[in-house]
Every structure is written in structure tokens, then in C-alpha cells.
A and B are shown apart, each in its own frame.
Chain A
Amino acid sequence: MEPYLLSNAVVVVLVGGLAAALASARRSRVWRDAGRELVRRRPIVLAVLLAYVAIGLLDSLAWVSGSSAGTTQGADTVSIHKPRSAIDRLFPDERYREKSYSAPLADREFLGGAPLRHPGRHLLGTDLLGRDVLYQTLKGARVALLVGGFTTLIVIPLALLFGVVAGYFGGRVDDVIFFLISTLASMPSLLLLIALIMVLGRGPVQVCVALGITGWVGFARVVRGETLKLRELDYVHAARALGASDARIVLRHIVPNLMHLVVITFVLTFSGFVLAEAVLSWLGIGIDGSWGRMIDQARDELSRDPIIWWNLVSASVALFGLILAVNLLGDAVRDILDPRTLRERA
């Protein structure tokens, strides 16, 4: 199968899965109220995040053009059949590609002053290779969502699994899992990340895997601690006395009580991963096309005079906007799901 079809399928599955999760959450009064409260408190933040997600989605589904009519200037037959996403199609090369730097909304090239191929069309200018900066910034959203969201979606179930099993069953199982957690936790995360990427390779999948390996440990430890506490609650004892199986107890009583932690951790981990990727890009081992990579490529240009600032600022603002929105959302979510306020509202 074509690789792009596979990645399309992954996206569809992810979005479908999230929709299903949201639908099932709506059935519970606590989550519905929490959701409504969230919309009430942070409408702007939610709108901003939705915008990011929408842009990311627009860039996630790629397909190949039907017609091969209208060959583009300088393009060969291979590239016509390259799968392109909606964002790619908004910024086709024939309408947006320059030779090199140009300032936002300029008519002329930055170095040398030659007239641009598409004067006035670049809202945020172009970079070293003549690519439109707005286009690149928009594409960065997908990478950020991939790094943050996708990786977190892998990390959280993994951490839940290990943490609950360790906390609930105790004994040898707990010893082994706790040892594993402690070992990973003892290794400084940035160094471990670097080592993992050096060893696994520098592709996007490897970076996500590396982030996942370093990221699951913290949450697993928290889950284990909470499970240990929950296991001793009276109603769990009662359920066991009534003959409920372990699986039932875990699924019905323990996991639902961890959900508020899951949501809060999701938000925190998301921004942590995106920021970590920026650092990795800085060190040269990040993901291509990410805002971190844009910033890294732009930093050398700061020493020029006059300076080239638009690509750096654009990527920085996009990165900052996402992280800020996620942090603000996370704070609101933490307040709303705080067990103390949950009890009061009940």
C-alpha cells in the first residue's frame, strides 16, 4: 500500500477514536458538566486550539491529484503523483516558490533586490530556499500535533497499563515494574532522548518513539501510587467480598477514578513533548518541518545585518501560541477536575 494511504488511515483511526471517546464521555454527567464548565471558562483558548487542530488535520490527509494536466514549471512527472494535503494544495509551488529570502509582502528578493516571481503574495515572506513561510508555519501544526498528541496517546495507555497492574497486583509484579520504572526514571530525560534518537535513527517515528519511552515513566509512577490508594478503598474491598473479578474491579472501580489524572496528564505531557522536540531540533535531531526546525534553521540568520526575522518570529509565535493555549487549558482542566471541587459540585 502506498505509505500515504497508510498514514491517512492512521489519522482517520485517531480522529475516529477520539470522537468515540468524547461520545462515551458525554454519557457521564460528571464529564458533561466538566466539558460545559471548560467551554464556559476558556472559550478563546478552546477556539485557538481547535484552529490548530483544524490546520493540522488539513495537512494530515494527503492524496494524489487526479489529473496530470497542466504540468508545472520545472516539475517532473514523478512529483505530479506525489500525495499532497489540503494545505499543500493551497500553496502550490507554481504560485509560491521563490529562489531565496524575501521579506513579508515584498516585491523584491531580500538579497540582491531582484524582482520576485510572485510579488506581494508572501504574507510572511520566504525562507532561504524560497519557500513561503506562512505555508511552512501551517505545516508545522501537523508536526506539533503529531509529536504532542500522537505520542501522548501512546504514552498514556501504556503508563496506565503498567501503573495499574503494578499498583493493583502488588508483589513480584509490582517489584519488576517498579524496578523498570525506577531504572528509566534515573536516566536524565534529555540525555536518554538523545541516546535513543542516535541509536534508533532520526526519522519522525523514531523521535516519537524516543519521546514516548522517556515520557511514560512519570505518569506510570503516579498511576501506580493512586492505584495503591484506590485499592484500599472500602468499596473496592466490598466489591471483592462480593466476588467481583479483578478485571471487573480494575475496569469498573479503579480506572474511572484515574480518568481525571489522565486528562490533566495528557495536557501537560502534550506541551512537554512539543517543547522537547524543539530542543531536539535545536540539537539537530528533531523532526523535519517542525517549528523547532524552522527556528533552528533561522537562528544563523540573526547575525546578518539587516536581520532576517520573519521565519523565526513566525515559527516562534506559532509554537508559543500552541503551548500557551495548551497550558491555559491544562490549568482550567486541573481546576475543574480537582477532586475537591468535583465533590463539592456533586
Chain B
Amino acid sequence: MWAYVVRRLAYSLVIILGVLFLLFVLFFLVTTPDDIARKAVGEKAPPQALEQWKKNHGYDKPRFWNREHPADSMLVDHFRRMLTFDFGNSDADDTPIWRRLRSGAGPSLSLTLPLFALGLLLTIPLGLLVAFFRETYIDRMGVVLCVLAMSISTVLYIIGGQYLIARVLRWFPISGFDPSPVVIGRFLAVPVLVGLLAGVGDSVRFYRAVFVEESGRDYVRTARAKGCGEARILVHHVLRNSLVPILTQVVVVIPSLVMGSILLESFFGIPGLGSITVDAINANDFATLRTMVYLGSLLFILGQILTDVSYTLVDPRVRLE
């Protein structure tokens, strides 16, 4: 199996290079350093100010090929620095990007980890429940509710959730963040709740579909003929066989949890990586944005490799060669 992992890592490296190339095209060719400089310094700034700014941020080199020092071009620079995690400074306020990443990771995880865990604990049993009652009116109502829930935009959940819980019921603060262990829960309660609600429709419907599909298989009929009850069938037989499609959805997001949630953080004032991304949008901070997309891709690729490995843990037929 390790040979497989190594091969996957190698191919992933190629993909990462592809990602970096695409980022280069987007951030250095489609948007030129002049554009970036102009956005940072101002539209009406004199050319020297633009040049100075570009020099300070490393945007003044030739893009592909430097005649004097062949390796000193923006293209090479971009690849080298990204691969060595040397992210430099923000285009907007000149602070080191790494420092902001480090400060944002904690708050992001404090939001996304509970959201993830609670999400699983909530939606998988619900999916099992609805699958248990399949074809009855409980199931039909459940599916209808799921479709309704799925059709509401996350944005509306956030607005509605915040309004209801924070303003009307006044159970929790509207927004903000305090990392101290005692108080942190109060600030995370609403965003986690809202996040759960926004995702429950989609997830439950998916799990239900997987469980119902598995329930129609021959080995379930055998189990029934042995005298297994429907509940035991669902939990012992169907769930175990449904793990491959479930893991496909679930494991891949685990590494990306550290990137936080753009919507939830920006709305509820949680200073995580998602917030940093939104700030970057508002400040035209291309350097930070570039870094975020790159990191997001890295984590996603890692998630995919982890997913493949996880298959071997749950399905004895899967052997990674």
C-alpha cells in the first residue's frame, strides 16, 4: 500500500504544479502586476509610486524569463516560494501572510471541528432513521423537508439564524469571538447551529439515498431470511457497506477544516482563515488570496489521498496497489 501512497503523492505533486501554473496565469498574466499595484496604491498614483510598490512586493521582475539571472523571474519565484511555503507579505497591509495564517487557524478550527463532528452525529442517524421508515409517510415527509431545507440559500440561514437566535431570543451574542475556553462556546453556538441547519437537508438526503440503495441488495435479503430485524440490518449490514460512498464525502473535507468557513466567519465575526479571505477580497489583496487558493488546493489533495487510504480500512475488497 505504501507504494500506492508514494505514487499518489508523486502524481499529486504534478497536480500541485498544475495548480501553481494556473494561479500564475490568473494572478500574473490575466491580472498584471501593474493592475495590482494600481489597486494597492491608487488609480491616480504616479508611475514612480507604482514602480516602488512593485519593487517592494517583488512584482518588478520580468515575468517569465530574466536575461541576466535566468532563475530570477516571477514565474520561477512564484513556484519556488509557494512550494517552500514562503508566502511573503500581504499586498494590502504588508504584514507577513504566515503570521495571519497562524492566528487564523485556531479560530477557524474552533468553528469547523465542532460543526463537522456534530454534523456527522446528526445527519447519519437521521439518514438511518429515514431509511428505516422508507416508503412510509415519515420517509416522504423527511425527503420533502430535506428538499425544502436544501433549497434555502446558506445566506438566508445565516440571516435567519442570527436574527432569530441572537435578536429575538437573545440567547447568544450576535457575533464576535473570544478564544478563552469558558466563553468561546457562547460565540460559536449560533454559527455552529446555523451551519448545521444549512447542511442538514443535503446530507440527510444523500445518506438516505445511499442507505436505501444498499437496503435493496441481495445480502440484506439473506440477513432478513436469517431472522435479522430491520434495525439491526440497517446498522450492522447496510451502514457498514455504505461507508465507501460516505467516506468519499466526509474524509476529503477533513484537512480543509482548518481553512474555516468563509460565510460563517465573515458574518459572525470569527477571526479565522475565512475572515482573512474576505478581508483579502475587500482589500484587493491578491497575494493573500493566491495563498489561500493554493493552501486550499493542497489540503483538498491531501484529503483525496486520505479518502483513498480510508477505503482500505472499511472495505476488505479494496486493496491499493
**A contact set with B: CB distance below 8 Å:** 179-180, 182-184, 186-188, 190-192, 194-196, 198-200, 271, 275, 278-279, 282-285, 292, 295-296, 299, 302-303, 312, 316, 319-320, 323-324, 327-328, 331
Report whether B19 and A187 are in contact in the complex, using a CB–CB cutoff of 8 Å: yes
Interface residues of B in 264-301 (CB under 8 A from A): 266, 277-278, 281-282, 284, 286, 289-290, 292-293, 296-297, 300-301
A285 CA to B262 CA, complexed, in Å: 14
The yes or no answer to B223 lying at the interface (CB within 8 A) is: no
Q: Which secondary structure dominates where chain B touches chain A?
A: helix
- Are B19 and A186 interface neighbours, CB within 8 A? yes
Rounded to whole Å, the gap between the CB of A132 and the closest CB of chain B is 22
* CB atoms of A198 and B151 under 8 A apart: no
* A188-B300 in contact given A279-B154, A320-B156 (Cβ < 8 Å): yes
Segment of B25-33, B64-72, B80-88, B227-235 in the binding face: B25-33
Known: A188-B256, A198-B284, A328-B147. A302 touches B262 (CB 8 A): no
Contacts of A327 in B (CB 8 A): 147, 150-151
A275 to B153, Cβ gap below 8 A? Answer: yes
Q: List 23 A-B contacts (CB under 8 A).
A: A183-B15, A183-B22, A186-B15, A186-B16, A186-B300, A187-B19, A188-B296, A191-B262, A191-B292, A191-B296, A194-B281, A194-B289, A195-B26, A195-B293, A199-B27, A199-B30, A279-B153, A279-B263, A295-B153, A296-B155, A319-B156, A320-B156, A324-B147
- B159 in the interface, Cβ–Cβ < 8 Å? yes
Residues on A with C-beta less than 8 A from B16 are 186
Known interface pairs A187-B19, A278-B153; A283-B278 also in contact (CB < 8 Å): yes
Closest 6 CB pairs of A and B: A183-B18, A324-B151, A188-B296, A323-B151, A199-B31, A278-B153
Q: Is B155's CB under 8 angstroms from A188's CB?
A: no
Asked if B152 CB lies within 8 Å of chain A CBs, one says yes
| Chain B nearest CB, measured from A336 CB (Å) | 16
Smallest beta-carbon distance A226→chain B, Å: 18
Contact of B155 among A183, A196, A292, A324 (CB under 8 A): A292
Taken together as a complex, chains A and B put the C-alpha atoms of A84 and B234 apart, in Å, by 59
Shortest A279–chain B CB gap in Å is 6
Contact A283 B296 (CB under 8 A): no
- A180→B26 CA distance, assembly (Å): 15
How many angstroms between the C-alpha atoms of A316 and B157 in the bound complex? 11
- Bound together, the chains give a CA A327 to CA B30 distance in angstroms of 36
Interface residue from B15, B150, B167 paired with A182 (Cβ < 8 Å): B15
B286 nearest CB neighbor, chain A only: A198
For residue A45, give the distance in angstroms from its CB to the closest CB of chain B. Answer: 11
Interface size class of B (residues with CB under 8 A): 35 or more
Name the residue of chain A whose CB is nearest to the CB of B31.
A199
CB atoms of B152 and A283 under 8 A apart: no
A210 to chain B, nearest CB (A): 11
Indicate whether B122 reaches chain A with its CB closer than 8 angstroms: no
The minimal Cβ–Cβ distance linking B279 to chain A, given in whole angstroms, is 11
With contacts A187-B293, A195-B289 known, what are 16 further pairs, Cβ within 8 A? A184-B22, A187-B22, A187-B297, A195-B293, A198-B31, A198-B281, A198-B286, A199-B30, A278-B155, A279-B153, A295-B156, A320-B156, A323-B152, A324-B147, A324-B148, A327-B147
In the complex, how many angstroms separate the beta carbon of A44 from the nearest chain B beta carbon?
Answer: 14
- Does B171 sit at the interface, judged by CB under 8 A? no
List chain B residues, Cβ under 8 A from A190.
262
Specify the chain A residue showing the minimal Cβ separation from B296. A188
Q: Name the one of A187, A275, A302, A328 contacting B159, with C-beta atoms under 8 angstroms.
A: A302
A312 near B155 with CB under 8 A, answer: no
- Is there an interface contact between B293 and A192, defined as CB atoms closer than 8 Å? yes
CA distance A135 to B301 in the complex (A): 46
Give Cα A26 to B216, complex, Å: 34
How many Å lie between the Cα of A293 and that of B78 in the bound state?
A: 35
Q: Are A279 and B300 in contact (CB under 8 A)?
A: no
A302 contacts which chain B residues (CB < 8 A)? 159, 163, 167
Taken together as a complex, chains A and B put the C-alpha atoms of A195 and B16 apart, in Å, by: 17
What CA separation (Å) do A195 and B266 show in the bound complex? 17
Contact A195 to B290, CB < 8 A, known contacts A179-B14, A186-B297, A283-B266: yes
Are B259 and A188 touching (Cβ within 8 A)? yes
Residues of A within 8 A of B297 (CB): 186-188
Chain A residue at minimum C-beta to C-beta distance from B282: A284
B281 near A285 with CB under 8 A, answer yes
Q: Quick one: CB contact mask for B137-179 with A, threshold 8 Å, 1 for yes?
A: 0000000000110111111100100010001000000000000
Point out the residues of chain A lying under 8 angstroms from B27, CB to CB.
Answer: 195, 199
**Chain B residue nearest in CB terms to A303:** B167
Query: Pick the contact of A320 from B151, B282, B301 — CB < 8 Å?
Result: B151
A182–B22 alpha-carbon span in the complex (Å) = 12
Smallest CB gap from A324: residue in B: B151
Chain A residues whose C-beta falls within 8 Å of the C-beta of B26 in the assembled complex? 195-196, 199
**Within 8 Å CB of A191, what residues of B?**
262, 277, 292-293, 296
Q: Are A284 and B151 in contact (CB under 8 A)?
A: no
